[in-house]
């Protein structure tokens, strides 16, 4: 039966019964059974703050100076983690919007349309290229699943005048691998270089403070023009919230004369903005020490997962750089579907084929033991 617009209003109890019925069908992070998502449950503090800012719309910022102030403080605070200094920053819906804006700026600056990407790039770049009438060309990966610098170098030497942008990934979606950002920056020189750090951007800075030896990925690298990261992942902000930073601040804003603010640089006009003050609250609740403890705990569980999976015969694809663990498996689609039928969410990898686990704060040691036991009985 198709749903039709109601003729008359219903009482609250009947409405909430239907809402509860729908909610019970959804998976939830608190169950500990979601291993395939890069998001997690926000703290109760974030939910409380979010509810107080439901009407905020920073697409019309003059009406919400308080929210705007919190946004500026968020941008500056997170910017200090990635050596952003005084570069321009925008709140976006997530990595996809940030990646689209980056390629938009690269096209407008260069007048060119070719984009060089590692084979590990997120699918959002295909979306961006389609929207912007740009051409994607993929650079193969090395044995450790990072962009092949020699192939990139040869491509830049042969086609430099055709290339609008080069993209590097700091925390690939499938494996958590980090491309050689410093080397890409050196090779890119005058070509727009964007770093997709949607996941890694809020993990790597804290891992470095925990003495993990990871390569430079942010504005510390001279050649980086822009970078996107998502507080709604390991930052534990309510969905959606991404941040986009740009060194040069190209003026691609669209005039919005009937709104306050004068112009809009993001893809969206109206912007649900409650996640910004909610993240401001979470950021101050945890502080650096809290996030380091959170990420350290996720890494401990990641290593535990790898040990348990190896015990039952699964081989890790790479040693983890962050809290993502993937294992070789030739028929991941079938296995993912079978696990879902049992009430568990595990993701898959494509290059190479395998099972992918994101060990977020909602994952427990008990949950790891349970999913490993289930998998051992299914292979």
Question: pLDDT class for 266, splitting at 50, 70, 90?
Answer: confident
Res 253: pLDDT: 64
Question: Would the pLDDT of 165 be above 90?
Answer: yes
Question: Would the pLDDT of 6 be above 80?
Answer: yes
* Alpha-carbon gap, residue 332 to 245, rounded angstroms: 36
Question: Would the pLDDT of 258 be above 60?
Answer: no
* Alpha-carbon gap, residue 136 to 117, rounded angstroms: 7
323-343 per-position pLDDT tens digit: 999 999 999 999 999 999 999
Question: Would the pLDDT of 264 be above 70?
Answer: no
In this structure, the strands spanning 347-349 and 263-264 are: unpaired
* Alpha-carbon gap, residue 49 to 276, rounded angstroms: 10
pTM of the model: 0.95
Res 61: pLDDT: 87
Res 46: pLDDT: 98
Question: pLDDT class for 257, splitting at 50, 70, 90?
Answer: low
Question: Would the pLDDT of 261 be above 70?
Answer: no
Secondary structure element (H or E) that encloses residue 242, with its range: strand 242-246
129-138 per-position pLDDT tens digit: 999 999 999 9
* Alpha-carbon gap, residue 322 to 330, rounded angstroms: 24
C-beta separation of 252 from 265 below 8 A: yes
More confident residue, 270 or 256: 270
Question: pLDDT class for 351, splitting at 50, 70, 90?
Answer: confident
pLDDT cut 70: percent of the chain above it: 95
Q: Which of 56-65, 170-179, 266-275 has the lowest mean pLDDT?
A: 266-275
**Average pLDDT, rounded, for the chain:** 95
273-302 per-position pLDDT tens digit: 999 999 999 999 999 999 999 999 999 999
Domains by residue range for the chain, with CATH: 12-43+288-376 (3.90.1150.10), 46-282 (3.40.640.10)
Res 379: pLDDT: 83
pLDDT cut 90: percent of the chain above it: 90
205-256 per-position pLDDT tens digit: 999 999 999 999 999 999 999 999 999 999 999 999 999 999 976 566 666 6
* Alpha-carbon gap, residue 202 to 250, rounded angstroms: 25
Res 1: pLDDT: 67
Secondary structure element (H or E) that encloses residue 38, with its range: none
136-157 per-position pLDDT tens digit: 999 999 999 999 999 999 999 9
Q: Which long-range contacts (CB under 8 A, 24 or more apart) does 29-33 make?
A: 29/360, 29/362, 30/362, 31/343, 32/362, 32/363, 32/364, 32/366, 32/367, 33/343, 33/344, 33/345, 33/367, 33/371
Res 175: pLDDT: 98
Question: Would the pLDDT of 20 be above 70?
Answer: yes
Q: What is the mean pLDDT of residues 21-33?
A: 96
* Alpha-carbon gap, residue 102 to 134, rounded angstroms: 12
Q: What is the mean pLDDT of residues 251-278?
A: 74
């Amino acid at each position: 039966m198709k749903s039709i617009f109601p003729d008359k209003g219903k009482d609250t109890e009947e409405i909430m019964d239907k809402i509860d019925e729908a909610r019970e069908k959804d998976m939830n992070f608190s169950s500990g059974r979601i291993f395939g998502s890069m998001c997690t449950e926000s703290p109760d503090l974030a939910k409380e703050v979010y509810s107080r800012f439901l009407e905020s719309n920073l697409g019309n910022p003059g009406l919400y100076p308080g929210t705007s102030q919190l946004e500026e403080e968020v941008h500056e605070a997170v910017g200090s983690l990635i050596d952003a200094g005084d570069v321009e920053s925008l709140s976006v819906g997530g990595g996809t919007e940030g990646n689209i804006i980056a390629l938009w700026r690269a096209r407008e600056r260069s007048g060119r349309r070719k984009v060089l990407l590692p084979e590990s790039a997120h699918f959002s770049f295909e979306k961006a290229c389609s929207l912007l009438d740009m051409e994607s060309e993929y650079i193969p990966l090395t044995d450790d699943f990072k962009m092949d610098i020699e192939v990139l170098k040869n491509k830049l030497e042969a086609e430099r005048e055709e290339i609008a942008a080069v993209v590097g990934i700091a925390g690939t979606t499938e494996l958590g691998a980090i491309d050689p950002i410093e080397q890409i920056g050196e090779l890119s020189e005058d070509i727009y270089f964007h770093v997709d750090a949607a996941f890694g951007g809020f993990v790597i800075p804290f891992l470095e403070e925990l003495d993990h030896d990871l390569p430079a990925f942010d504005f510390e690298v001279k050649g980086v023009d822009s970078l996107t990261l998502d507080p709604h992942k390991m930052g534990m902000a309510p969905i959606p919230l991404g941040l986009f930073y740009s060194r040069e601040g190209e003026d691609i804003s669209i005039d919005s004369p009937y709104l306050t603010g004068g112009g809009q640089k993001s893809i969206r006009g109206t912007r649900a903005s409650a996640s910004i003050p909610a993240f401001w609250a979470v950021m101050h609740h945890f502080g650096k020490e809290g996030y380091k403890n959170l990420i350290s705990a996720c890494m401990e569980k990641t290593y535990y997962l790898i040990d348990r999976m190896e015990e039952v015969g699964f081989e890790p694809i790479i040693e983890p750089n962050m809290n993502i663990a993937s294992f070789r498996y030739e028929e991941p689609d079938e296995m993912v579907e079978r696990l879902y039928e049992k009430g568990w969410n595990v993701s898959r990898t494509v290059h190479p084929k395998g099972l992918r686990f994101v060990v977020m704060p909602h994952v427990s040691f008990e949950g790891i033991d349970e999913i490993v036991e289930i998998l051992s009985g299914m292979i």
